[in-house]
Amino acid sequence: MNFKSMYQEKLISIPEAAEMVQSGQRLVSAMCASEPVGMLNELERHAERLEDVHVWMCLPMRPYGFYTQPEMEGSFFLENWFYGAMDRKMHKLGMVSYVPNNLHRAGSDRIHAGGIDVFWGTATPPNDHGIMSLSTSLVYERQLIDEADIVILEINENLPWTLGDTQVHITEADYIVENTQPLVELPAIEPTEVENAIGAYIADLIADGSTIQLGIGGIPNAIAQSLFEKRDLGVHTEMFTDGMVDLFEAGVITGREKTLWPNKLVGTFALGTQKLYEFIHNNIAVEFQQGKVTNDPYIIAQNNKMVSINTALQVDVLGQVCSQSIGARHFSGTGGQLDTHRGAQMSPGGRGIIALRSTVKNDTISTIVPHLSPGAEVTVPSQDVDTVVTEYGVAELRGRNVKERAEALIRIAHPDFRAWLKEEVEKLGIVMKIQAPGVDL
């Protein structure tokens, strides 16, 4: 088979690719650095002939016109597995809705709820055997390529060639478009003093030889920086980050003691700087697997000493964790937080950690609260919560009663809010009498 001529036969222009979309269809786009930017930008130009096209995305990286312009209403609707800054703004226009999900089931739940018609993704240019790499994301992409009636892949020469379950053959794409451009980057941010304090507490909870997962947000960056004294850490994560590259290059991450995929950093998508994209390119130490694999709690649990570290917006004294909304205002998503928090606790010697600053908005709001704000979405229920860390210490909640949980959380709340927390908790009758010896109440 001559794959070069097959490539040429499948090659169409970006407007022709958008022309394939029909009214009423369900279109799924690949995510983050694997977004097909050319086709997504083109979509708005087809609004006049299209009605009720539903587009599924996860953490859109750019303000695509098809859902950010009011005149697109009726033509397109964005179904969003994870909100970013743009989606929070656009929510008010009424053309986007969050899809509750545990990330390892995003693809399966879509199939369950009706499937898809069109898949738009990206891939590297094919090799001599007609094989391409799906590159920076396998969260649901591989699964939905198998499901779609029409698969169109946008070839970007800048995409890293990643290894694992990333291969897709030219025969699996119905059409190909070309669009080489720089990958979206998530800049690494210098951790604050508070984040470094949280990182130091967490470093004490991670034994040498542990396998770690780091979530999304500012705090996980700081945690990576507090792990340079560790030895033989492994990675089994949802998201590959720049911090992991630094730890690998410093010889801290070796994966030697991993009980599942030893010696490999395992994950399902990468979002970071060019340094990360260069690191994952053709790197035999980096294993991409589908989200339904990496984030399956039973698979995560096959790593001994698995420690998951994620961030939250609010934790109440029952241990209910909200990481995805500020009150009723939807903020981000569950992503893999519950998947990884559960999987880590099922792992021999494992631990699920939720890390958050004790206050926000210049110390005017406590993130430790008597009860979640009205409308808040629970990300980790009280039944599943394990360890919560702030810059004031560590609260071990797993297996503890509500009184013990409330007292442990008040101990790690900001000192200015501890008396208020005690008073509210007792007034509401959540716990009749709070005792936290040695803590100023």
What's the closest the beta carbon of residue 116 comes to ligand COA, in angstroms? 23
Residue with tokens 């990675």: 235
**Shortest Å distance, C-beta 331 to ligand COA:** 6
Distance CA 24, CA 21 (A): 9
Nearer to ligand COA, 37 or 186 (CB): 186
Q: Taking the complex as a whole, how short is the minimal distance between the CB of residue 277 and ligand COA, in angstroms?
A: 18
Q: Is 220 helix (H, G, I), strand (E, B) or coil?
A: helix
In the block, tokens 């702030």 appear at: 390
Which lies closer to ligand COA via its Cβ, residue 361 or residue 427?
361
Q: Per the residue annotation, which of 42, 141, 238, 407 is the catalytic one?
A: 238
CB nearer to ligand COA: give 156 or 347: 347
Please return the burial class of 131, using the count of CB atoms within 10 Å of its CB with bins 0-12, 13-18 and 19+: middle
Smallest distance, ligand COA to C-beta of residue 367, A = 5
To ligand COA, the closest distance from the beta carbon of 361 in angstroms equals: 5
* Cα gap 322→314, rounded to integer Å: 5
User: What DSSP letter does each residue of 228-268 carry, written as one string?
Assistant: TT--SBEEE-SEE-HHHHHHHHTT-B--TT-SSSTT-EEES
User: In the chain, helix, strand, coil percent, each to 5?
Assistant: 30, 20, 45
In the complex with ligand COA, which residue's Cβ is closer, 53 or 395? 395
Query: What is the distance between the alpha carbons of residues 435 and 410, in angstroms, rounded to a whole number?
Result: 10
Cβ neighbour number for residue 91 with a 10 Å cutoff: 17
- Rounded to 5 degrees, what are φ and ψ at 273? -100, 180
Q: 37 vs 300, which CB is nearer to ligand COA?
A: 300
Q: Which of these, 43, 41, 63, lies nearest to 54 by C-alpha position?
A: 43
Q: Specify the length of the chain in residues.
A: 441
Q: Which two tokens stand for residue 282?
A: 């053709």
Provide, rounded to whole angstroms, the least separation between the CB of residue 420 and ligand COA. Answer: 15
Shortest reach from residue 426's CB to ligand COA, in Å: 22
Q: Report how far residue 163's alpha carbon sits from residue 96's, in angstroms, rounded to the nearest whole number.
A: 33
Spatial contact of 243 and 221, defined as CB atoms under 8 Å apart:
yes
The minimum distance between CB 422 and ligand COA, in angstroms, equals: 19
Of residues 302 and 311, the one with the C-beta less far from ligand COA: 311
Residues at the site binding ligand COA, with contacts judged by CB under 6 A: 215-219, 238-239, 310-314, 323-324, 326, 331-333, 335-337, 360-361, 365, 367
Give the 3-state secondary structure of residue 71: helix
Q: Which residues contact 52 (CB under 8 A, 6 or more apart)?
A: 23, 24, 74, 75, 77
In the bound complex, what is the minimum distance in angstroms from residue 213's beta carbon to ligand COA? 7
52: alpha, beta or left, given left = phi > 0 and alpha = psi -120 to 50?
A: left
Distance CA 400, CA 6 (A): 62
Q: Which residue, 83 or 248, has its beta carbon nearer to ligand COA? A: 83
Rg (CA), the chain: 23
Looking at residue 40, its amino acid is L
Task: Choose between 206 and 376: whose C-beta lies nearer to ligand COA.
Answer: 376
CB 79 within 8 A of CB 55: yes
Q: Considering beta carbons, is residue 95 or 355 the nearer one to ligand COA?
A: 355
Please count the helices (runs of H) and the strands (runs of E) in the chain: 16, 26
Active site residue 238: yes
Residues involved in catalysis: 238
